[in-house]
Amino acid sequence: MERPLDSAVKLENLPEEIAGRWPDQVQVYLDPQNGLCLMECEASVLMEVCSYLFSKQGFSFASLVVEEEHAEFSLRYIFYLENGQVHILHQISKTKARVPSISHLVHAADWHEREAEDLFGLVFEGHPRLGDFVLHEEWSEGVNPMRAGFDPSKPYVHREVNPYWRPVRIVQAPGAFMMPIGPIYSDFAESAHFLLETVGEDVIRTIPRFFYKYRGVEKIAEGRRADEVLLLAERFSGISAFAHSLAFCQAVEEISKVEVPPRAKALRIFFAELERLRHHVSSIASICGSTALAVATSQASIIEEELLRLCCAVTGHRYLFGLNTPGGVTMDFNNEVLQNLADTVQGLFKKLDDLKQMLRLSSSFLDRLEEVGIVSLESAASYGLVGPIARASGINRDLRRVLPYSGYEKVEFIIPCEQEGDGYARLRVLFSEAEQSVNIIRQVASSLSSGPTISPPFEVTPGAALGWAEAPKGATFHWVRTGEDGRVVRYRVTPPSFTNWHGFHLAAENFAFQDFPIIMATFGLSNAESDR
Amino acid sequence: MSNWVLKGLQTGIKTTSYPGREEVASGVSPGLPVGKKEPGGEAISLISRCPTHAIRQMGQQILVDYRRCINCFRCVRGVQEALDWNSGYEWAAYMRTNDGTTPWLEKVFGRSLHILFVDGGACGACISELEQLNKPFYNIHRLGFFITPTPRKADILLIAGPITDHMRLPIQKAFDGMPTPKRVMAIGSCALSGGIFGPSFASEEGVQKLIPVDVGVPGCPPPPLAIIHGLLLAVSRKSPASLISFGSVDGRKNS
């Protein structure tokens, strides 16, 4: 299945197309300046319209945003393609709270619907598997923390758990059993639970159970000031703090119509790429670690720590906390310092490239990665996977190119893409992207304009906007709505790990037990980011 | 394979000389605010600027509660009168005083301490810093510290994150499954105070609400050297710092 970037329909022709197909059921409003197309859609054709965009026109699914208004739930299905977004709006009354499920046609929306069912109590008609997703068995049915009446400030009193409760088992064969892994396992693993359905040596399928790290970020953000929510955006996933805070800041800037100074935009690109580089080096180290190649793990780890130290020496923080703020960045830097940093990074990249050449020639290493954890192009497209994982399966889509932000349209870079979709393809994408990040860092460092790094102070106005960024793990979308007093009313985060964990089971099917850590490492996803 | 061996040898030793000698490389620690001994009028306004209420006034001084500080730099950036800054990393402190009935671990485990790490909803930065402990720059094996994946073999439980509601039971079970004598170490502001997440419907107000904590390591995230200091403190090979600037919780002077 080919998913070309320049699809048959351009955004400006979309109203005509839609009006031709569904003249009465869909209202279309085009905002060509912002590349935004709003569609109000009736329940009877919701599924068809979404499927038309996703399957026929090659739009990617970004997020499902549920917002509670006075007597209604407002659902916003966000799709995007090159330089354009489509928001499909659908309203349902609170008393009914039922909506047709789109996930059997737009499979990328599957987990979004499950999440909305759990947290808002919406019923998605036709969805095969609702319940037991974000909230685990301790939570009574009918408790929906994202609803307006729910008090987030104090612990919720749980029900008694039925000791005989077991997760659903799919494989029914003689001798079949479930091998549980987690939530506490391995050395420094994040809390997550995997049920490996097996008949012995081979694992037939994997059922992940997540949200052990659910901190209710979206709920506790409500009622906080934008500068307080910024801390949540930065700290719900510390290893991609800069990308997430950037997406959040861009949403707030869009709401308040604040122009970010050019120097601040350039600095944001600089540090976003520095974060991506550090993240990818760290992922490469864990892939080497998963195959027990000790020297390679150490070599990558040395580069990682050197990058962490560089970040800290220049910005004051090893993970770039406290740098982004709505309106720009909180610090200015001497151009010479940034130039030196770019040169040092180039030197570190040389070491990384040496490592890549050595790994390429280590057959015992390649044997562990090749043809392991394969995700096909068709599956990756239907699950709407993002980031390096999607690009290793042949989906050449990157928000820096598709919906350029913060001045990425002026930067030259290529988007590395591989076709095999196996562990080795994902490793190669990581190496190539690290190389591109180094190139971008050098470009930005040599062409920095002078000027302020932050806009004049401003009040956050009421409104709503979508902010996005290509985080190290893939596309992240932050939907922010602010109220009359400038406080956040609704904050919806769609992080890349959430999108990609959905497709993890594709790679973790029919494999031998010893490949599990390798599949995990080549996916390189974060539960903190996914669970929020 | 021989070229890997050669590569390893060529790289030489990268490991820090801490705790033998102080680590002086730049970028090993983001530091923490110290407060101010004689603050001007401007510095007082920083108290309301702090998003986690870590800064407070006591007498003439401005103090910082390190259990709450999340390294947001709002008390030093974009302000007229910044707080003083501590660029060190020896921040770990005892969270309870030793009443003499339970010996600290040094006699038995001083050079063989087995560590179980449990993630109580950490954002990933604390975990990333913990991962560095096993990597060339910090390498805690040389100090006799070992990571174990099972509570049955663990002497000390390391916890990062605010303790999410869903991790309460697993953490309680892991703690109960450890043989005595056992110790608990809370890593990072979330584990010490709930950070920006707790208390709420989904997170606790730190580890101490669930199980007793012996050693706390402040920071967001605490750099690897601060965590090493915490481990050394747990086996009494280092002396404690204070969790509140200009003085300590149990009245000891800041070292």
ipTM for the complex? Answer: 0.90
pLDDT at A130 > cutoff 80: no
Q: Nearest CA of chain A to the CA of B160: how many Å?
A: 10
A185 shares a domain with A274: no
Nearest CA in chain A to B79: A330
A104 shares a domain with A31: yes
* Test mutation, A138, A151, A210, A235, chain B, max B CBs within 10 A: A235
Average pLDDT over residues A244-266: 93
Distance CA A168, CA A321 (A): 41
Q: Nearest CA of chain A to the CA of B51: how many Å?
A: 7
A338 shares a domain with A397: yes
A193 shares a domain with A75: no
Question: Greater confidence, B2 or B133?
Answer: B133
A419 shares a domain with A307: yes
A200 shares a domain with A109: no
A81 shares a domain with A187: no
Query: Which of B4, B14, B125 comes nearest A295 by C-beta?
Result: B4
For residues A108 and A381, the answer to whether their CB atoms sit within 8 Å is no
A254 shares a domain with A201: no
The reported pLDDT for the residue numbered B247 is 58
Say whether A309 and B122 touch across the interface (CB within 8 A). no
Query: Which of B25, B123, B136 comes nearest A528 by C-beta?
Result: B123
Chain centre distance of CA A35: 22
- Helix (H) or strand (E) holding A206, with range, is strand A202-209
The reported pLDDT for the residue numbered A435 is 93
Total number of domains in chain A? 3
Whether the bond between B149 and the residue before it is cis, its omega within 30 degrees of 0, is no
Q: Nearest CA of chain A to the CA of B223: how many Å?
A: 8
Distance CA B205, CA A368 (A): 43
A380: in domain: yes
A47: in domain: yes
Q: Nearest CA of chain A to the CA of B237: how many Å?
A: 24
The reported pLDDT for the residue numbered B118 is 93
The strand pairing partners of A475, in sequence order, are A470
Chain A residues touching B204 at Cβ < 8 A: 155
Query: Which of B73, B164, B170 comes nearest A330 by C-beta?
Result: B73
A414 shares a domain with A265: yes
* Test mutation, A157, A158, A191, chain B, max B CBs within 10 A: A191
| Residue A93 belongs to domain with CATH number | 3.30.460.80
Question: Greater confidence, B52 or A3?
Answer: B52
The reported pLDDT for the residue numbered B1 is 64
Task: Residue A161: name the closest of B174, B166, B161 by CA.
Answer: B166
Chain B residues touching A316 at Cβ < 8 A: 30-31, 73
A272 shares a domain with A345: yes
Domain boundary residue, one of A413, A433, A459:
A459
Residue ranges in A215-261 assigned as alpha helix (H): 217-220, 226-235, 241-256
Q: pLDDT category, A33, cuts 50, 70, 90? A: confident
pLDDT at A166 > cutoff 80: no
Chain B residues touching A295 at Cβ < 8 A: 4-5, 7-8
pTM: 0.91
Query: Which of B164, B170, B201 comes nearest A152 by C-beta?
Result: B201
The reported pLDDT for the residue numbered B250 is 43
Task: Residue B152: name the closest of B138, B168, B173 by CA.
Answer: B173
A187: in domain: yes
A485: in domain: no
Average pLDDT over residues A300-310: 93
Average pLDDT, chain A: 89
The reported pLDDT for the residue numbered B99 is 58
The reported pLDDT for the residue numbered A46 is 86
Task: Residue A442: name the closest of A356, A348, A353 by CA.
Answer: A348
Tokens of A40: 């109000």
Task: Residue B188: name the closest of B167, B210, B161 by CA.
Answer: B161
Range of the domain at A186: 177-209
Say whether A154 and B201 touch across the interface (CB within 8 A). yes
Task: Residue B18: name the closest of B143, B184, B129, B146 by CA.
Answer: B143
Compute, in degrees rounded to 10, the torsion defined by CA atoms A419, A477, A240, A428: 10
Say whether B202 and A145 touch across the interface (CB within 8 A). yes
Q: CA-based angle A480:A486:A489, to the nearest 5?
A: 45
pLDDT at A178 > cutoff 70: yes
pLDDT at B179 > cutoff 80: yes
| Residue A406 belongs to domain with CATH number | 1.10.645.10
Chain B residues touching A138 at Cβ < 8 A: 165-166
The reported pLDDT for the residue numbered B130 is 93
Residue ranges in A324-422 assigned as alpha helix (H): 335-360, 363-369, 377-382, 387-392, 399-402
A25: in domain: yes
A219: in domain: no
With tokens 């909803």, the residue in question is: B121
pLDDT tens, B8-40?
888 888 888 888 888 888 889 998 888 887 777
Chain A residues touching B25 at Cβ < 8 A: 309
Which residues lie below 8 Å from residue A294, measured CB to CB, with a gap of 6+? none
Domain boundary residue, one of A125, A151, A185:
A125
Query: DSSP states of A421-489 as a string?
Result: -SHHHHHHHHHHHHHHHHHHHHHHHHTPPPS-SBPPP-PPPSEEEEEEEEETTEEEEEEEEE-TTSBEE
A199 shares a domain with A64: no
Nearest CA in chain B to A136: B166
Domains in chain B (CATH in brackets) are: 32-86 (3.30.70), 93-234 (3.40.50.12280)
A290: in domain: yes
A246 shares a domain with A205: no
**Strand order through the sheet with A202-209:** A177-181, A193-198, A202-209, A511-512
Say whether A331 and B77 touch across the interface (CB within 8 A). yes
A281: in domain: yes
Domain boundary residue, one of A416, A433, A459:
A459
